Chains A and B, each alone.
Chain A
Amino acid sequence: MHQTKNARQTTQTKPSTYLNEAVAIWLRDLRSEFRTRYALNAILMFAVTTLIAVSFSIGSFRIEEAERPFLYAVLLWIILTFSALSGLARSFVKEEEAGTMDILKLSARPQAVFLGKLLFNLTLLGAMELIIVPSFILLMAYQINFPGFFIAMVVSGGLGLAAGTTIIAAMIARASARGALFSALSIPLLLPLMITAIKGCERAAVGIGTAGWPEVKMAVAYVIVMVIMSLFLFPLVWEE
């Protein structure tokens, strides 16, 4: 416990592995996030206000019963994706703003930095989904016939959102017009995932054709491809 808390001590006592470097960065980011709650507040407020706007203008009865599974899945994933895009860049932008980029480069290997930031983004997304998805279901009276599949889809979709955007965040931290650029660069990469997740949530709501969990498998494959590509490409971005 003590070792993971203090990255420097870990490197002194025994050779550090990728994993404990990544965990050290993750815990450090969590600690600094708990002090300011900047990213979490930004993401949550964005998500909550969008959810309220959607719920207020559509309500739980406007859309006809037969259309609900699909249209609600679309609305849910638009809220989740854009909320994620509003705050996930923060993980790298804050290093640039605080001027801690160079120190971080010295204290951990690039792949470990990527994994640590990925874990941190996943934590943020998990917290957001934990609040937004149940609220969405309650506010919109979303009928889900296969909750297991739905949960798996939301979790794997969230993994995909983080996996696809973490390396983009590292790039836009060093560019101008960050906020707009982050969405512009991420959306083309996230579209396949969004289409998959919408299809999956629709299937879970209807409860038909869920055998084999095709959409969840697709999202997991997306996560694996994006993480592996990022692990290869991140050192180039990081050392630049």
Chain B
Amino acid sequence: MIVRSLLTIWMAVIIIAAFLYAEAAHGFPGETSRILFFHVPQAWIATLAFLISMIASVLYLAKRNVKADYIAQSAAELGFLFCVLATVTGSIFAKATWGSFWNWDPRQTSIVILLMIYGAYFALRSAVPDLERKRVFAGVYSILAFAAVPFLVFVVPRITSSLHPENTMNPASPGMDPKTLKVFLGSLFAYTGLFVWMLRLKIRILNIEGLRVRDLFR
């Protein structure tokens, strides 16, 4: 309860700071660079969720513990949500700076493939009626997809010459304004907190649903 209230306050502070405290970065039209505080953490969560889902799938296949599958499914669902958010916010930024909502920039290509994998994962889950089998198949597909994705890094054309801003807004490079860096890291933290909270809620829901199903067949 306390943690949740703190998270709410923290998130509100970050949203206000993103618009009022941090200054807009140079070299971007108007205030467009402020999308950094929302878009980048969303993309980070989408990737993190994908990774968590894959690791939980491996655990499920090794130990056959239902809890692991709940984690894999919840992480995938939340990852899909954040993936959509990152795609939409990125697309708005693309319209504002590059002139079109969609132009198959390498970043856009890779996020679409991530969305397709998530979509296929859910389609597979909904198409297998048997519970145990559904979990195994979903886990196997998750791992297969994880093995295929690295090839994209090599084959997506001109991945190094993406229009995606890296240098001015990358926190690791010295080009970033200290105020911007502070708000960015704060936002990253807030989004991670939000994700963890949502993930735990989702796992609890699946747990309760699982109990009900088991009781029915007892």
Contacts and interface: CB of A to CB of B under 8 A. Distances in A.
B153 to A, nearest CB: 9
Interface in B111-136: 113, 116-117, 119-120, 123-124, 127-130, 132-133, 136
Given A181-B127, A218-B151, A167 B117 contact: no
A196 B150 CA distance: 13
A185 B123 contact: yes
A184 B122 CA distance: 10
Contacts of A175: 124, 127-128, 137
A236 B136 contact: yes
Contact of A176 (B117, B129, B144): B129
Contact of B144 (A192, A221, A229): A229
Contact of B141 (A185, A221, A222, A226): A185
B172 interface: no
A195 B119 contact: no
Given A218-B155, A240-B132, A240-B136, A184 B143 contact: no
Given A175-B124, A187-B116, A229 B136 contact: no
A233 B141 CA distance: 9
Question: Interface size bucket, A side?
Answer: 20 to 34
A192 B148 contact: yes
Nearest to A164: B148
B123 A181 contact: yes
A174 B113 CA distance: 25
A189 B147 CA distance: 9
Contacts, number: 93
Given A174-B133, A218-B154, A236-B136, A188 B116 contact: yes
Given A174-B128, A174-B133, A233 B144 contact: yes
Interface in A188-240: 188-189, 191-193, 195-196, 199, 218, 221-222, 225-226, 229-230, 233, 236-237, 240
B61 A236 contact: yes
Interface of B: 61, 113, 116-117, 119-120, 123-124, 127-130, 132-133, 136-137, 139-141, 143-145, 147-149, 151-152, 154-157
